[in-house]
A and B are shown apart, each in its own frame.
Chain A
Amino acid sequence: MHIFANPARFLSIARPATPWLFWTGLVVLLAGCACGLFLTPADYLQGDSVRILYVHVPAAWLGMGGWSGIAIAAIMQMVWRHPLAAIAGRAIAVPGALFTAICLASGSIWGRPTWGTWWEWDGRMTSMLVLLFLYIGYIALARASAASGQSGGVSRVTAIFALVGAVNLPIINRSVVWWNSLHQGPSITMRGSTIDMAILWPLGLTLLGFTFWFAAIVLMRMRAILAETKVEARMQRMARDAAVGERVPA
């Protein structure tokens, strides 16, 4: 990873990778959604509402995957002082929060026709809502520490917050196993899938597509934050030069 310690080298890879990930992701995810809407059969119990699966599951995966990324970035920031780690953490936070919100909203819309309720305080739903609040807290902390001028990124408190928040990830994952919950148990496990292949296959496409898209958005945001810090550094230098110029008598 230390190859990327030099932002210029990171940019030389990130710049061409961004449009590639963006457009491939968009095509794959739209294809997956179209297949899920028109080609797959309805579920024996739920009927057509099962199709929300193709958005709900990738959103949940990216919401949780996003926080895993933030936690890894926090470790790299604290242990190796990697210059891009803080920037990566900040870049992941907003799309991660967005996908967590999409997961909660799509789950709520799905819950009404199947379970008969928009919202219940069961283990899975509550722990996922906590993840959304963690994201909002992280975004606020990161913005505050970036505003106070801490190395173009996030303070150590923010990184520690990211690690503490990661405890929620196994809780979300296990919530339907540990506790009686309204949400059903895991469908896809190490032993295989209880989703029939006829319904399952477009999920692979939307998972891949949304993940590529997420990566493209993260790269874009990292480049934007890098450009911002560069502008800031240049402005500071110009201000310093101007101040020096005034003091020197002509």
Chain B
Amino acid sequence: MAMKSKHQRLILVLIALVALIGAGLLAASALKDEAAYFYTPYDAKTKGVDPGKAIRLGGMVVKGSLKRAADGVTIHFQVSDGKASVPATFTGIAPDLFREGSGVVAEGSFDKGGTFVATNLLAKHDERYMPRELDGMSYNETTHQIEGQVK
């Protein structure tokens, strides 16, 4: 019994699609760790990143850990992913969204003492968007300052 050529083509295309998607997913899952944009503190501790090796470290800035050094431009803070926490330091101008309790991606390397010395800071925000009123904050239109505290 001859199959209609239309059906033959349909089956061929479907097989090709399944093979393609399978190959794509396999490649993506193999890339899983290699394509990660940053190390979390837990990754950095368990995988053992050599001091001096340039990496990105991402996590939350631990509340209450942010301290400014006497020179005014150097900051010290703790980066945590909930499982591990590492001390970090940065000299320079941090982005506006960099704050305690918020996400950060720091570029730099670990020194011998296990402190992450960042050469650049990027702020990472989460997927929540809401008006300030809902977060107990308000925006002063005349001074352009945010009033209130991040919860």
Contact = CB atoms under 8 A, between A and B. Distances in A.
Contacts of B84: none
B128 interface: yes
B69 interface: no
Contacts of B29: 178
A115 B131 contact: no
Contacts, number: 134
Contact of A179 (B16, B36, B94, B96): B36
A176 to B, nearest CB: 9
A195 B32 contact: no
B114 to A, nearest CB: 21
Interface in A189-208: 194-196, 198-200
A42 B105 CA distance: 24
Interface residues of B, number: 48
Given A195-B128, A196-B130, A46 B97 contact: yes
B125 interface: yes
Contacts of A168: 24
B76 interface: no
Nearest to A197: B130
Main SS at interface, chain B: mixed
A224 interface: no
Contacts of B31: 179
B24 A170 contact: yes
A99 to B, nearest CB: 22
A194 B6 contact: no
Quick one: which of B97, B126, B127, B137 has the most chain A CB within 10 A? B127
A167 B124 CA distance: 28
A170 B21 contact: yes
Contacts of B2: none
Given A50-B129, A80-B6, A42 B139 contact: yes
Contacts of A132: none
B121 A43 contact: no
A236 interface: no
Interface string A140-177: 00000000000000000000100110111011001000
A38 interface: no
